[in-house]
Amino acid sequence: MAFVGASLPTVRVPRRAAAALVCAASPSPSRLPPPPQPSTNVSRRSALAAAAAAIAAAATTALAFPRPAAADRTGKYSTKLTAARRYKPRITAAVAALAAVGPVLAPTSSANDGAWRDTVRTYVEGADGGLSAAKLFGSTYFSEGNRVSEREKELAEEVGAVEAAVGRLGVAAKSGSQSAAWAAWRAAAGGFNNYLTVAKLDEVPRIELGDE
């Protein structure tokens, strides 16, 4: 029989038993849901979009500054000013386009096979305009009249190295070898950086080569 107003007896649980009950009630690390993994879709889309924008900008700049049939080798001060005004924007845009391709090809890139190959093919198809501007700038701005200067020779060699690397980049895109494309891109970027140094175009940002 129950008595109204009677208090129930207090049950004391030992501390160790209480701790065990708490642990049993709490989910173990193995039972916890896995943490959400960061999505790579945003970074992949950003890299591809940046590359497409830079390549398009280089093409637009090439149209805005059409190249003459041959370099003006008079060596006059006015000729140098014209060369700087005509070719520097195209060189700057060409460097930016090449730099934007790098993140798409890097070993850490999450771009799928079709995406990086399309990006490289688009770049290679339009690369000639920037390389031609680099050639003409060297042979016009650093011209010594009928004499070919040593700096002009150096710049021609650097452009040749970049052209060869861009050619290998195109071959790698056709074969589908991303590692070969990455190596060719680094060679092209390094060559363009050397060109900028020899040409004293300090205002043009250098390309970050990344890790091999």
The per-residue pLDDT for 110 is 75
Q: How far apart are CA 121 and CA 90, in angstroms?
A: 19
- Burial code (b: 16+ CB inside 10 Å, e: under 16) for 91-107 equals bbbbbbbbbbbbbbbbe
Q: How far apart are CA 18 and CA 164, in angstroms?
A: 74
Sketch the domain layout of the chain as residue ranges. 41-198
What does the DSSP assignment read for 13-42?
PPHHHHHHHHHHHSPPGGGSPPPPPPPSHH
Q: How far apart are CA 169 and CA 32, in angstroms?
A: 47
Angle (nearest 5°) at CA 136 between 132 and 139:
140
Average pLDDT, the chain: 77
**Which segment, 65-74, 80-89, 108-117, 176-185, is predicted with the most confidence on average?**
176-185
Confidence bin at 74 (pLDDT 50/70/90): low
The per-residue pLDDT for 26 is 47
DSSP three-state, residue 206 = coil
Taking Cα atoms as reference points, which of 156, 152, 155 lies closest to residue 142? Answer: 152
Q: For residue 144, list its beta bridge partners.
A: 147
Q: Tens digits of per-residue pLDDT, 130-143?
A: 999 999 999 888 87
The per-residue pLDDT for 30 is 45
DSSP three-state, residue 135 = helix
The per-residue pLDDT for 42 is 44
Residue 196, Cα to own-chain centre: how many angstroms?
18
The per-residue pLDDT for 177 is 94
Cβ proximity of 74 and 145 under 8 Å: yes
| 28-37, 53-62, 111-120, 183-192: least confidently modelled range | 28-37
Confidence bin at 79 (pLDDT 50/70/90): confident
Q: How far apart are CA 100 and CA 104, in angstroms?
A: 8
Q: What percent of the chain has pLDDT over 90?
A: 44
Q: How far apart are CA 127 and CA 122, in angstroms?
A: 9
**Residue 196 pLDDT > 50:** yes
Work out the number of other CB atoms within 10 angstroms of the CB of residue 194: 18
**Residue 2 pLDDT > 50:** no
Tell me the fold of 41-198: Four Helix Bundle (Hemerythrin (Met), subunit A) (1.20.120)
| 114-123, 158-167, 193-202: least confidently modelled range | 114-123
